[in-house]
Amino acid sequence: MSAPFRLSVLDQSPIPEGSTGADALHNSIDLARHAEALGYQRYWVAEHHATPGLASASPEVLIGPIASATSRIRVGSGGIMLPHYSPLKVAENFSALSGLFPGRIDLGLGRAPGTDPRTMFALQRDRREPSPDDFPQQLAELLGYLGNSLPAEHPFAHLARTLPGLPERPEVWLLGSSPQSGLWAAEGGLPYSFADFINPNGAEIAALYRQRFQDTAAEVSPRVSVAVWAVCAETDEEAQRLASSSRMTLRLLHQGRLIPVPPVEKALRFLESESGQAAAGPLRNRRAVIGDPSTVRAGLEQVAKDYGAEEVMVVTITHSHEARKRSYELISEAFVTADHASATAS
């Protein structure tokens, strides 16, 4: 794969209508194998809870089977929603994964709950009162374990030396879609992955992250990846048809209705009844790069340029697993074909 930036995958393990969550998890492993063969840089799995449309509730569980089914591609979380967990437990989980798969494990961390408030409360161990909003403290403790950098007087400092996968460690990223996440990433000297598919107005946030970045022993310069909605097919028209499944899902999500990913024909009928514009229009104020290979390549290049990103993580949801695999295949081929044509012309 040749591109002015690296291409990677962010997988939310979509559950197509008519299939099961177990099917979706197996599809994720299959897609990871396919992505590795196509030359993608890394494969991240998301964290979402209590939704019938996504099976990605436990990235720390799914990462191991994906890493076992592949041999080169980096595998990680996009991300672990840290407020749900003990920093020590997260450190132990990803230390163990790093020990089993040296040099291949990423720990992407997020602050968002990945679910509704009631489910967030259900995820708590102690339900006497809501958990405190102490993400910066959690992050500092977690990084202290992984880097063995907790102050000597810290009551848990000795635990850093007991992590099961030592001396291997995961590569830590901070995920976000807001200015605050960019500041935390800069202050912590961490690489930053911005969710453009949630907030398409993050170019200034990425620029501020670079401006505020503080050098650390682990990370000597800022790094930005950007996660983008994309659907690619042989023609613009077919790509728009495939994207109708995501459009229907998101429209109902905004109405508080959670559904499995609908088949194309059902989605087209729904969207026609809603607006009369089934195959066109944005994904409800979200950027979407949809089209044939040349269209998608140009779109991804523009997003990467806007963010100054060294890496683009492609998020694709279709009803058909084969269509999703084909989309990633066409995106990979688009960069190789275009670069070959450019080299030939010169």
pLDDT value, residue 146: 97
Rg of the chain taking only CA atoms, in angstroms: 20
DSSP string, 293-335: HHHHHHHHHHHHHHHT-SEEEEE---S-HHHHHHHHHHHHHHH
Residue 171 lies in a domain: yes
CATH number at residue 148: 3.20.20.30
pLDDT at 285: 58
pLDDT recorded at residue 342: 47
- Asked whether residue 260 is assigned to any structural domain, the reply reads yes
pTM of the predicted model as reported, rounded to 2 decimal places: 0.92
In a domain, 224, yes or no: yes
Q: What is the pLDDT of residue 339?
A: 52
198 in a structural domain: yes
| Residue 311: predicted pLDDT | 97
Task: Tell me what pLDDT residue 341 has.
Answer: 45
Q: Is residue 1 part of a domain?
A: no
Mean pLDDT of successive 10-residue stretches along the chain, which has 346 residues: 81 98 98 98 96 96 98 97 95 98 98 85 85 92 97 96 98 96 94 96 96 81 96 98 96 92 97 67 70 97 96 98 98 77 44
Is residue 146 included in any domain, yes or no? Answer: yes
pLDDT value at residue 336: 83
Q: Is residue 74 in a domain? A: yes
Q: What's at 198, amino acid-wise?
A: I
Number of domains in the chain: 1
From residue 86, how far is each of 45, 82, 226 by CA, in Å? Answer: 20, 8, 27
Q: Is residue 298 part of a domain?
A: yes
Domain containing 171 equals: 6-345
